[in-house]
Amino acid sequence: MPAFKHPDYKNECKKLKLTLSYLKDFNELISTRKKQIDEAVEYSKSHYNSDNAEQFNELVINESMQISMKTKSKELKRSLLKPYFARVDFTEDNSMKLGKYYIGKMSVINEETGEFIIVDWRSPVANLYYEGRLGNASYICPDGNIKGEISLKRQYTIENALLKEIFDIDITTNDDFLQAALGSNKDNRLKDIVSTIQSEQNKVIRANMWKPLIVQGAAGGGKTTIALHRIAYLMYNYEKTLKPENFMIIAPNKFFLSYISEVLPELGVENVSQTTFEEFAFSVLNKKNYKKLKLKPPHEKLSNIIENYSNKKAEENQMIISASTFKSSLEFKDLLKKYLKYIAYHYIPKEDFKIHDFVLFTYKEILKLFLKDYSYLPFTKRINEIKKSMINKIEYKKDKILDHIENEYEVKLNKVRRSMNDCEERREKIIKIIDERDDLLLKVKKKLKTIVKEYTSKIPERSVFEYYENFLINLPKLKEEDTNQNLINYIKDTSLDDLKNKTLEMEDLSPLMYLSVCIYGLDEKINLRHIVIDEAQDFSLFQLYVLKKIVKNSSFTILGDLCQGIYEYRGIKDWNDVSELIFNGEPSTKLCLEQSYRTTIEIMDSASSVIESLKDSRLPKAKPVIRHGDKVKVFEKDSLKDIASALDERIEIMKKSKYKSMAIICKTLKECSDLKKLLKNKKDVSLITGKEKDYPGGIVLIPCYLAKGLEFDVVIIANASKDSYTEETLDVKLLYVAMTRPLHELYIYSLLEKAKMLSYIS
C-alpha cells in the first residue's frame, strides 16, 4: 500500500531518516579513510625500495585495504538511495528482547553500540525473511540452530531515499510486493531481485557449495538471476578463504553476458569471471597455437540444422546431428583416453639414461616413473618430476662415476708400469692414458651438466592441435568395433578439413581441452574453485567432464531447463546422467524451480500446452505465478508482406506505450533479414545476428535460438506456421522458447495455416 496510508508510517520514516543520517556520516568517514589509504599507497609506490621487506608488506596490506575501501564506498553510495528493502522482527526463545532486523544489500554496524543498523541479505538471520512465516521459526548460523518467533515481516519500496510503499506479509509468495515487481517493465539489462527472492529460489542460492547442485528451472523461474545471486552469497560466506577469481559463471554467448552484466556489481561483487565456454576453452589452450584458428559461431550449425529441417534435407541433417552427438559424448572422450594411453607409452625416448658406461636409469625404470608413479600429473609435469629424479641421481652418483673412471685408468696405468721398465715408450703410453683419462673426465663433467636436457630434448614438441589431428587420422583404428564406419570417416574428414582451413567447431573444444589438460596441464593463473553454468541443458556431457577435470572438485552450480534444450543433439537429455556420469553418483543436491515469475498465466498455459505435445515425462510443466493478462491469439496471414504490415502497426503501438522492450522472434536469421526488409519501421528495429557484444534493448528482431535466456515486455512470433514449426522435437522446443520470452504480451502470426501445436488457440 502507499506508505503514507500505513499505520506505522511515521515510525518507519523516522527509522529511515536515522539510518540515512548514519550512512551519510559513515560514508564521510570511509571516504576520509580511503583518501588516507590512497595517499599511503601512492607514497609507498613512489618511494618503493625492493630491498625493504617491511615496506613491501605494508604496501601489500594497504593495497588490500584500498580495494576493500573502494568496494565499501560503492556499497554505501548505493545504500544512500535505498538502504534496505525489508524488515523481520524476531524474538529468540528464552529471550525477552525483540530483534528488529532491517535487511539490505550490505551490513552496517553501529560502531559505538555494536548493533546492526542494516543486515546483509546473505546473512543467516536474513533467511527468516525469505523462508520464515509468522509464528515459530528458526535459522541456522555458526552458533547453531536459533529458534524463536517471527512477529512481523515487512517489505518496503524506497526510491531515491524516499519511502514509497509498505507491505506487511506472512509468506513471500503471491504477495502485493511481488506482484508489483513482476508487473514492472523490462529495460535492456537484468536486475537483482534481492527484495523478492522466493523460498524455492532461496534454497538454490544458499545450497551447500561443496556438493554439486543441479537445478531444473522453468522458463521465467529466474535461473540466471538466481545463479548470480548464488555467487554473491557464496562470496559473502567464504570471503576469508576464497577470492573472486576462484569463481566463474559460464553463459551462452557474449550478447547474453552484456544482458546480465549489471547484476553482480549491483550486489557488491566485482572481478568474478563471466565468460562463455568457448572463450574459457581458448584460455585453457596454448595461445601461440590457437591465434590463427577461428571458431565457427556455435549457433551457426543449429541454424543450418533448422534450415535443413525446413528444406527437408533429412539425410544431410542426420549425418551432421550424429557427428555432433558422437563428438560431444563420453564415448568420444574414452577414445581420446585410449589415444592418450598410446602416446604416453611412446612419449619418452626408448633408451636408457646413461653417461659413459654408467646407466643411471634404465628405459623401463623411466617408463615406470612416467606411466605409474607420476600418472596423476599431466605429461609435461611428469617429465619435470622425472628431470628432478635424474638431477638428484646425477648429484648422488657424480663422484662415484668420476671415481670409477679414475680407478679404471689407474688400473691401466698400473698395468703399463708393471709390464715395462722406465723408458720413452713407457712414458709415452702413460702420458697417453693420462690424457685419455683427463679428456674423458672433462667430457663426463660437461655431459653431466647437459645430459638431462639432451635426453628430454628427444621428446617431440607438438601442439595440442597436432595431437588432435593425429588422433583424428587414427580415429577409424581407435573405433573399430560396433560402430558406423561411415560416421567415423565423416567425423574424421570434416574435422581434418576444418583444421586444414584453420577453423574449429564447438564440438572440437572439449576434446582439445581434454588433450591440453592431460598433456600440458593448466596455466597457474586458472585457479577455479566453483563454476556456475547457466543454460546447462545445452552443454554436452563431455563439456561438463572437462570442466570437472579442471576444477578438480565437485563444486558446481548447474542450472538449465530441459524444455528449452534446443541443442539436444549434443546437450543434456536427463539430469540423472549428469549426477551418475559426471559426478559418479556422489551425493548431489537436485532442486526444481517450478514457479515461472516472468509471464502471465495465459501466456504460460499456452506455452506449456506446446511442450506437452512432446509427451516426455522428463520435461516438467512450469507453474505460473497468479498474474493475469490478455489471451494469446494467433493471426493467420496470406503473405509475409501482410505479416510485416501487422508488425509495423504493433511497433507503432509499442512506441507510444509504457513498455520499454519488444522482440520480434523469427525461426531463422534469414527469416529475420527477409522480414526486416519489408518493415516500414526498420530503423526502429535492431537485427540480432549473434555477433553482437552488447545488448541494445528497445525493439529487436531476433532468431528464436538467440532469444533463449532473454526476456521482453512484448514478444511477437512472426511466423508460427505448420511448415515452419513441425512436430519435430527441435521445432517444438524452439517455439516453446519463443513463447516464454514475454513478461506481459504475446502475439503470434502465421503465414497461412498455424502450427499444429497451436491448434487450440483461436
The predicted-structure confidence for 454-479, as pLDDT tens digits, reads as follows 999 999 889 999 999 999 999 998 88
- pLDDT band for position 370 (50/70/90)? very high
| Cα(399)–Cα(394) distance, integer angstroms | 9
C-alpha cell at 510: 572439449
C-alpha cell read off for 192 = 537483482
**Which of 326-330, 514-518, 756-760 has the weakest average pLDDT?**
756-760
The pLDDT, as a whole number, for residue 297 is 86
Q: Residue 260's closest CA among 225, 230, 229, 236?
A: 225
How confident is the model at residue 44, as a pLDDT? 80
DSSP H or E run through 176? helix 176-182
Class of domain 213-286+520-596: alpha beta
Position 173 confidence tier, pLDDT thresholds 50, 70, 90:
very low
pLDDT for 86 equals 94
Region 113-130: mean pLDDT is 93
Average pLDDT of the residues in 647-658: 93
d(CA 710, CA 535): 11
Mean pLDDT of 260-275: 85
> Do 98 and 151 contact (CB within 8 A), yes or no?
yes
Q: Is residue 657 classed as helix, strand or coil in its secondary structure?
A: coil
Q: Check: CB of residue 202 under 8 Å from CB of residue 127.
A: yes
pLDDT digits (tens, 9 = 90+) for 67-116: 778 878 888 888 899 999 999 999 999 888 899 999 999 999 988 888 89
Q: Which residue in 613, 637, 614, 616 sits closest to 718, CA to CA? A: 637
Looking at residue 286, its pLDDT comes to 66
pLDDT grade, residue 312 (50/70/90)?
low
Beta strand 556-560 with 273-276 is unpaired
- Mean pLDDT along residues 167-174: 62
Whether the CB-CB separation of 235 and 273 falls below 8 Å is answered with no
Least confident of 150-159, 478-487, 628-637: 478-487
Give the pLDDT confidence of 544-582 residue by residue, as tens digits.
999 999 998 889 999 999 999 999 889 999 999 999 999
pLDDT value at residue 392: 95
The pLDDT mean for the chain works out to 90
- Amino acid 70: pLDDT: 81
User: What's the CA gap between 605 and 630, in Å, rounded?
Assistant: 12
Asked if residue 661 has pLDDT above 80, the reply is yes
Question: What's the CA gap between 733 and 567, in Å, rounded?
Answer: 10
Predicted local confidence at residue 62, as pLDDT: 82
64: exposed, middle or buried (C-beta count within 10 Å: 0-12, 13-18, 19+)? exposed
Alpha-carbon distances of 666 from 40, 724, 725, rounded to whole Å: 58, 10, 11
Mean pLDDT check: name the lowest of 2-16, 123-137, 252-266, 389-403. Answer: 252-266
Over residues 741-752, the mean pLDDT reads 95
| All cell numbers assigned to 522 | 593448466
671 neighbors 756 (Cβ within 8 angstroms): no
pTM score, whole prediction: 0.88
pLDDT above 90 covers a percentage of the chain that reads 65
Spacing of C-alpha 557 from chain mean position: 9
**Is the pLDDT score of 188 beyond 60?**
no
Pairwise CA distance, residues 53 & 58, whole Å: 9
Q: CA-to-CA distance for 189 and 257, rounded, in angstroms? A: 10
Q: Which position has the grid cell 606411466?
A: 371
Average confidence (pLDDT) over 391-404:
92
- The predicted pLDDT at position 174 comes to 40
Q: What angle do CA 589, 590, 593 make, to 5 degrees?
A: 130
Band (175; pLDDT cuts 50, 70, 90): low
- pLDDT at position 57 over 90: no
Alpha carbons 403 and 383: distance in angstroms, whole number: 29
Surface-to-core class of residue 403, CB atoms within 10 Å of its CB (0-12 exposed, 13-18 middle, 19+ buried): exposed
Tell me: pLDDT of 38 over 90: no
Residue 59, pLDDT > 90, answer no
Residue 101 to residues 84, 129, 202, 303, Cα–Cα distance (Å):
10, 9, 18, 52
- Report how many helices (DSSP H) and strands (DSSP E) the chain contains, helices first: 27, 25
Cell numbers placing 31: 571516504
* List of residues 6+ apart from 231 with CB closer than 8 A: 247, 249, 264, 269, 272, 530, 532
Look at residue 725 in the predicted model and tell me its pLDDT. Answer: 94
- Asked if 213-286+520-596 and 614-758 have one fold, the answer is yes
DSSP assignment, residue 536?
A: G
Q: Average pLDDT of 410-434?
A: 90
**Domain residue spans in the chain?**
3-171, 213-286+520-596, 289-342+464-513, 353-456, 614-758
Which pLDDT band, with edges at 50, 70 and 90, does 298 fall under?
confident
What fold characterizes domain 614-758?
A: Rossmann fold (3.40.50)
Length reported for the chain? 762
Q: What pLDDT shows up at residue 172?
A: 42
